[in-house]
Amino acid sequence: MSLVVYLAAFVFGMTSVLLFRRPRRAMRNPLTLSTCAAIVLGALVFVCAAPPTLATVNELTGVPNFGAPLTYGMLSAYSCAVLVLLINWRGGTRARVRRLVLRAVAAYGVLVVAIVVLFSLADADTERLTDLDTYYATTPFMREMILLYLVGHSAAMLVMCAVCVKWGREVGGLLRTGLRLILLGALLDVVGFQLAKYTAIVARWTGHDLDFLSTTLAPPMASLAALLCSAGFVLPRLLPSARAQWRGLGDYRRLAPLWSLVRSVSTAPKPPTGWWQLPQARLQWREVSIHDALLALAPYFDHRLRERVRDTALREGRSAHQARLAAEAAMLADAARRAAAREEPPEPTGAYRLHATEVSGTGGLVELAQALVPPPAAPGGAVPPSLAEPEEPHVA
């Protein structure tokens, strides 16, 4: 059981690291900050609730069951952080958000103080690491402390359920998916964790033994519920970025033929090659370097060659755009060959802009790079006419 709890804490912690990967920006964003706070507190709850942690805390403090108010106080702080996150997620005027946040913090601050006071008044000298809630369910002050932390956590989860149901009708896309995951996690927490705890405690009050609900069923249900809520909170924030990075990786790879052709003439600073560089950062460096190389190759452009290849492509039935790309690819390959051989540039015939330099983003460069890739050979090994060297016109 401890392994499951520690694993949930680790996944929680890694989620917060992903959100907090840019600390300066995160510190200026209340939503990111509150999300990270809620996730970190959730991870700490799992760490504190694990029996080995409880035993260590009790031993270090010399107070039997000292880990109980620590865990319950941490759980109350997590419940408060969830409400603060919902408030920041909902948004509104700064004054309104601040007022609601202060109310939530004040209410749960009083709750944490009450938990500590009740524990100090209770007689709980027998250490219980896994069944404290049911063992002390009928003990004065401990009984009230246990009910108080459960009620505080239930209030936060029920508010979360109500908010998710309401907002789910107003939004769509990833935000709605995230709200559904949060709602599923909150409902699982209410039914699998809280209801199991309440049932086991009431059973003790009536002289029955349903401790397994509290000791065996509730912990894994709480772990799963917290992970679902965490996924719901971070999915709308991380998935768009992950998609952008995936597209950047695809463009970075598709630019390889063009970069391989012009990299020798690029004078741009060499891009960093560390494994920590994200695909979009790598793509940006490659894009800048290619544009620099295109400027260096511009004097070697043979526009008569470009016009011949374009006319040939048009006669083969290609569209004007495809013919232009094929012609520019042939001209660029010829320019790279001339520059590598240190030949004299051809006579200038006027200014010309490549299609890749007329469009924003990497789309134009990707098209040019793909135009450099030869199509599969025709049956029998023959080279398709469109790839053959354009013939010089015969002079009569």
Residue 193 has pLDDT above 90, yes or no: yes
Across the range 241-256, mean pLDDT stands at 88
Confidence of residue 183 (pLDDT cuts 50, 70, 90): very high
| 43 and 130 part of one domain | yes
Do 80 and 138 belong to one domain? yes
Whether residue 260 lies inside any domain: the answer is: no
Residues 228 and 283 in one domain: no
209, 83: one domain: yes
pLDDT-based confidence at 60, cuts 50/70/90? very high
pLDDT classification of 390: cutoffs 50, 70, 90: very low
Top-confidence residue, 189 or 27: 189
Letter for the amino acid at 7? L
Range(s) of the domain holding residue 53: 2-243
Least confident of 15-19, 141-145, 333-337: 15-19
Question: What is the DSSP annotation of 226-289?
Answer: HHHHHHHHHHHHHHHHHHHHHHHHHHHHHTHHHHHHHGGG--SPPPP--TT--HHHHHHHHHHH
The confidence score (pLDDT) of residue 214 equals: 92
**Segment 255-278 mean pLDDT:** 76
Single out the residue of 98, 107, 113 nearest to residue 80, CA to CA. Answer: 107
CB 74 within 8 A of CB 44: yes
Residues 322 and 236 in one domain: no
Whether 25 is covered by a domain: the verdict is: yes
Rounded to whole angstroms, the Cα distance separating 85 from 157 reads 13
pLDDT digits (tens, 9 = 90+) for 249-266: 899 999 999 989 988 887
CATH of the domain at 99: 1.20.1070
Q: Is the pLDDT of residue 122 over 60?
A: yes
Sort 223 into a burial class: Cβ within 10 Å, 0-12 / 13-18 / 19+: buried
Check residue 350 and give its pLDDT: 66
54-to-114, 128, 196 alpha-carbon distances in Å: 20, 9, 21
- The rounded distance, in Å, linking the Cα atoms of 337 and 332 is 9
Instruction: For residue 158, tell me if it sits in a domain.
Output: yes
238, 133: one domain: yes
Same domain, 234 and 298: no
Q: What are the tens digits of pLDDT across the range 371-382?
A: 887 655 444 444
Please report the pLDDT score of residue 171 as a whole number.
80
With 80 as the cut, is the pLDDT of residue 15 above it? no
- Indicate the burial class of 251 (C-beta count within 10 angstroms; 0-12, 13-18, 19 or more): buried
Which has the closest alpha carbon to 66: 116, 137, 141, 111?
116
How far apart (Å, rounded) are the C-alpha atoms in residues 193 and 263? 60
- pTM: predicted TM-score of the whole model, two decimal places: 0.69
The mean pLDDT value for 70-75 works out to: 93
Residues 72 and 148 in one domain: yes
**Poorest-pLDDT segment among 215-219, 334-338, 375-379:** 375-379
- Residue 217 domain-assigned? yes
Q: Provide the domain count of the chain.
A: 2
Mean pLDDT of 35-39: 80
256 in a structural domain: no
What is the total residue count of the chain? 396
Asked whether residue 392 is assigned to any structural domain, the reply reads no
Same domain, 229 and 297: no
Q: With 0-12 CB in 10 A as exposed, 13-18 as middle and 19+ as buried, what is 347?
A: exposed
Within-domain flag for 351: yes
175 within domain boundaries: yes
Does 312 lie in the same domain as 178? no
Clarify whether residues 28 and 150 are in a common domain. Answer: yes
Question: Which of these three, 243, 269, 299, is where a domain ends?
Answer: 243
Same domain, 283 and 225: no
